[in-house]
């Protein structure tokens, strides 16, 4: 991967006696959309807050746009976009007033290649809030507020955008609208996006690459298709021959089907090949990792007792 | 322009926007009008009664104390409450996400809270000019002193509001750590009755805090020269008032950036989320 915008090497985080991150490694390239996927409590939010510079880490090396978020100068913030979930802030402000106010912070960092801030009207059109520019923020619906959150996150035309559980609490329609907005962003300005989610379908829909975080460690890293191949890896082949149904699981379904035809030719009917779904992959990966860790955990006291 | 100066300029604009929005907000307006209205009615009804043994109008004597309490309330309770609320609702975190956003946010708060003291003062100062006789016998010099106390006094104790706002964890704490102390200090600071009516040690304590000195300087402006006899030292002491007010301002200026910074460093999305959840539980 050339020109990584996010580099995380052996990131560790410990709260008191509790290890939340136990050596996280990953890189994100320019223009890439990466989903950090994992069950609740896996350390997704901790990771993203460290990258945002909102939380200090215990150990490891982290670089975002070439700077350590813990010590980066304020100018570094001009290249970072963060989508924060509005709750009740700036309720009295109009949509336009707030976007223009927050956009002003980025004006000193404008370059011919990256004009900052984004034009308010274009921005409103991008997130589908056109026509609501003069609406008071307190009067927006929940979905409209989320669009505003995204607009605020990208008002400074960031090189890297962070989204932490962006669709938590969305209804299916709001979720689909949000996915459309994110797809639109990627095409604009080569923005790299790191998002966290515990929703697998969302990760699959949005990301070029999925990182699965489980118990403070990355247990899988690849495109949705790669991950599906990597895990249990098997596809299911179903067919009928002579009125009888057959099922066979195989790592290389293509070779198996070729052999099947070579042997029986036209006797084969109702052929069906199903790749194991990403969901099955995900569950398999997380469980395999947790089982391995628990096994190690079980061994430790025994060793201690033997000494 | 360097980016930090730019952000501070954005903050001044932010303060002005917030002020304009508050003038249009029904809850803020009714707050101003109810309080000012009540006090004006009180001053109007008492305009002819005199304070025993002095020959001074009770309303003219009361007005400086009321103004002193207003400044203290506005400049301490206002920002502390706002800071707690805006930490809870994520406003502060949004500021933190922008380059030099915190510098800008604090600038905006100073401007907004400072401007926020003004509507009340105008409401309380302008009408009495028409119905109270002998207000501000010193003329232009007196009005300049009033302006000086308002500007200097507000700026001097705004940092106290920011410090309390940084330390309080939820809105209800503001009542305990800001509203009650300010009311207590106002009560012993000669706001409601002359300080000389207090025990000697209470008078000493009151003189440590700026509220007494706001009132002192305002009484100097509003009352005839002879009224100095009812002050703590038995005479006017403007240099003393100036010194105490400026000293509070300096201490606040040194302490508040550190305390604000420490509080702001802890802000993150999950911190806001956690407080939101806690608040939902409290309210629901």
Is B130 among the domain residues?
yes
Q: pLDDT by residue (tens digit) across A72-108?
A: 999 999 999 999 877 789 999 999 999 999 999 999 9
Residue A117, preceding bond cis, omega within 30 degrees?
A: yes
User: Can you give the pLDDT at residue B187?
Assistant: 87
Residue A307's pLDDT band (cuts 50, 70, 90) = very low
Taking CB atoms and an 8 Å limit, are B13 and A97 in contact across chains? no
CB contact under 8 A, B10 and A101: yes
Q: What is the pLDDT of residue B32?
A: 83
Distance CA B102, CA B92 (A): 8
**Closest Cα of chain B to A74: distance in Å?**
5
Q: How confident is the model at residue A252 (pLDDT cuts 50, 70, 90)?
A: confident
Output Rg (C-alpha) for chain A, integer angstroms.
24
- Whether B118 is covered by a domain: the verdict is yes
pLDDT of residue A302: 38
- Any A CB within 8 A of B28 CB: no
Which of the two residues, A45 and B53, has the higher pLDDT score?
A45
ipTM rounded to 2 decimals: 0.89
Cβ-defined contact of B98 to A86 (cutoff 8 Å): no
CATH superfamily of A4-226: P-loop containing nucleotide triphosphate hydrolases (3.40.50.300)
Closest residue, chain A, to B275 (C-alpha): A87
pLDDT score recorded for residue A266: 87
Of B7, B91, B270, the CB nearest to A105: B7
Q: Which residue of A has its CA nearest to B273?
A: A85
pLDDT given at position B211: 94
d(CA B281, CA B271): 16
Best to test chain A binding among B107, B269, B280 (most A CBs inside 10 Å): B269
User: Which pLDDT belongs to residue A301?
Assistant: 41
A88/B89 Cβ within 8 A: yes
- Residues of chain B with Cβ-Cβ distance to A87 below 8 Å are 89-90, 272, 276
State the count of interchain CB pairs (< 8 A) between A and B: 89
What pLDDT, in 10s, does the model give residues A134-168?
999 999 988 888 889 999 999 999 999 999 888 87
For B114, what's the count of Cα atoms within 13 Å in the CB-facing half-sphere? 22
| Domain-embedded: residue B276 | no
- Those residues of chain B that have pLDDT short of 50 are none
Interface contact B270-A45, CB threshold 8 A:
yes
Residue B37 lies in a domain: yes
Contacts 24+ apart (CB under 8 A), A99-103: A99/A123, A99/A124, A99/A148, A99/A151, A99/A152, A99/A155, A101/B10, A101/B13, A101/B14, A101/B17, A102/A152, A102/A155, A102/A156, A102/B94, A102/B98, A103/A155, A103/A156
Which residues of chain A approach chain B closer than 8 Å at the C-beta? 45-46, 49, 52, 54-55, 74-78, 80, 82, 84-90, 92-93, 97, 101-102, 104-109, 152, 156, 164
Q: Where are the domains of chain A?
A: 4-226, 232-306
Rg (CA), chain B: 20
Nearest to B90 among A49, A74, A89 (CB): A89
Number of neighbours of residue A307 by Cβ within 10 angstroms: 4
Domain that holds residue B200: 3-269
Residue A112: per-residue pLDDT:
92
Residue B186 resides in a domain:
yes
Structure-derived torsion over alpha carbons of residues B125, B130, B131, B135, reported in degrees to the nearest 10: 60
What SS3 string covers chain A? Answer: CCCEEEEEEEEEEEECCEEEEEEEEEEEECCCEEEEECCCCCCHHHHHHHHCCCCCCCEEEEEECCECCCCCCHHHHHHEEEECCCCCCCCCCEHHHHHHHHHHCCHHHCCCCCCCCCCHHHHHHHCCCCCCCCCEHHHCCHHHHHHHHHHHHHCCCCCEEEEECCCCCCCHHHHHHHHHHHHHHHHCCCCEEEEEECCHHHHHHHCCEEEEEECCEEEEEECHHHHHHHCCCCEEEEEEECCEEEEEEECCHHHHHHHHHHHHHHHEEEEEEEECCHHHHHHHHHHHHHHHHHHHHHHHHHHHHHC
| B59, B47 contact by CB (below 8 A) | yes
Min Cα–Cα distance to chain A from B97, Å: 7
pLDDT at A2 over 70: no
The pLDDT of residue A78 is 96
Asked if the Cβ–Cβ distance from B100 to A105 is below 8 Å, we say yes
Which pLDDT belongs to residue A232?
53
* Residue A1, pLDDT above cutoff 60: no
Q: Which residues in chain A have their CB less than 8 angstroms from residue B99's CB?
A: 74-78, 105-106, 108-109
* Banded pLDDT at A297 (limits 50, 70, 90): low
Q: Are A50 and A125 in contact (CB under 8 A)?
A: no
B4 contacts on A by Cβ (under 8 Å): 74
Q: What is the tally of structural domains in chain B?
A: 1
CB contact under 8 A, B99 and A102: no
pLDDT band at residue A202 under the 50/70/90 scheme: confident
């Amino acid at each position: 991967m050339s020109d990584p915008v996010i580099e995380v090497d052996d990131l560790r985080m410990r709260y008191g006696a509790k290890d939340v991150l136990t050596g996280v490694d990953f890189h994100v390239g320019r223009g890439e959309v990466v989903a950090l996927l994992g069950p609740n409590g896996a350390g997704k939010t901790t990771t993203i807050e460290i990258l945002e510079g909102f939380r200090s880490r215990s150990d490891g090396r982290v670089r975002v746009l070439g700077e350590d978020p813990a010590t980066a100068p304020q100018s570094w913030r001009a290249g970072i976009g963060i989508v924060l979930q509005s709750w009740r802030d700036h309720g009295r402000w109009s949509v336009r007033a707030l976007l223009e106010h927050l956009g002003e912070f980025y004006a000193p960092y404008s370059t011919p290649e990256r004009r900052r801030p984004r034009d308010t009207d274009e921005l409103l059109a991008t997130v589908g809030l056109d026509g609501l520019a003069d609406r008071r923020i307190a009067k927006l619906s929940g979905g409209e507020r989320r669009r505003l959150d995204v607009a605020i996150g990208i008002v400074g035309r960031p090189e890297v955008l962070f989204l932490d559980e962006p669709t938590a609490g969305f209804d299916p329609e709001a979720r689909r609208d949000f996915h459309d907005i994110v797809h639109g962003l990627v095409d604009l300005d080569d923005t790299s996006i790191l998002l966290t989610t515990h929703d697998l379908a969302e990760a699959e829909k949005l990301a070029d690459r999925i990182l699965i975080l489980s118990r403070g460690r990355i247990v899988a890293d690849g495109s949705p298709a790669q991950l599906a191949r990597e895990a249990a890896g098997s596809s299911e082949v179903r067919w009928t021959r002579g009125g009888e149904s057959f099922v066979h699981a195989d790592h290389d379904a293509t070779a198996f089907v070729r052999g099947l035809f070579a042997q029986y030719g036209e006797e084969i009917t109702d052929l069906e090949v199903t790749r194991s779904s990403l969901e099955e992959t995900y569950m398999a990966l997380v469980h395999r990792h947790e089982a391995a860790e628990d096994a190690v955990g079980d061994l430790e006291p025994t060793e201690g007792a033997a000494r | 322009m360097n980016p930090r100066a730019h952000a501070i300029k954005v903050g001044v604009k932010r303060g002005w926007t917030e002020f304009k929005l508050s003038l249009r907000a029904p809850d803020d307006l009714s707050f101003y009008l109810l309080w000012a209205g009540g006090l004006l009615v009180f001053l109007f009804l008492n305009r002819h009664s005199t304070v025993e043994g002095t020959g001074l109008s009770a309303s003219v004597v009361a007005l400086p104390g009321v103004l002193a309490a207003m400044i203290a309330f506005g400049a301490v309770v206002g920002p502390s409450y706002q800071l707690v609320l805006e930490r809870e609702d994520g406003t502060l975190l949004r500021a933190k996400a922008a380059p030099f956003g915190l510098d800008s946010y604090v600038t905006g708060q100073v401007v907004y809270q400072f401007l926020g003291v003004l509507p009340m003062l105008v409401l309380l100062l302008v009408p009495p000019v028409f119905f109270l006789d002998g207000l501000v016998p010193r003329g232009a010099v007196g009005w300049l002193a009033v302006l000086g106390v308002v500007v200097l006094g507000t700026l001097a104790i705004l940092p106290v509001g920011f410090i309390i706002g940084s330390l309080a964890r939820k809105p209800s704490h503001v009542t305990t750590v800001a509203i009650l102390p300010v009311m207590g200090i106002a009560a012993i600071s000669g706001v409601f009755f002359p300080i000389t009516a207090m025990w000697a040690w209470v008078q000493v304590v009151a003189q440590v805090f700026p509220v007494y000195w706001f009132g002192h300087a305002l009484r100097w402006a509003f009352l005839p020269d002879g009224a100095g006899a009812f002050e703590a030292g038995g005479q006017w002491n403007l240099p003393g008032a100036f010194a105490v007010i400026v000293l509070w301002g300096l201490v606040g200026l040194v302490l508040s950036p550190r305390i604000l910074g420490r509080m702001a460093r802890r802000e993150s999305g999950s911190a806001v989320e956690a407080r939101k959840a806690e608040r939902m539980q409290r309210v629901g």
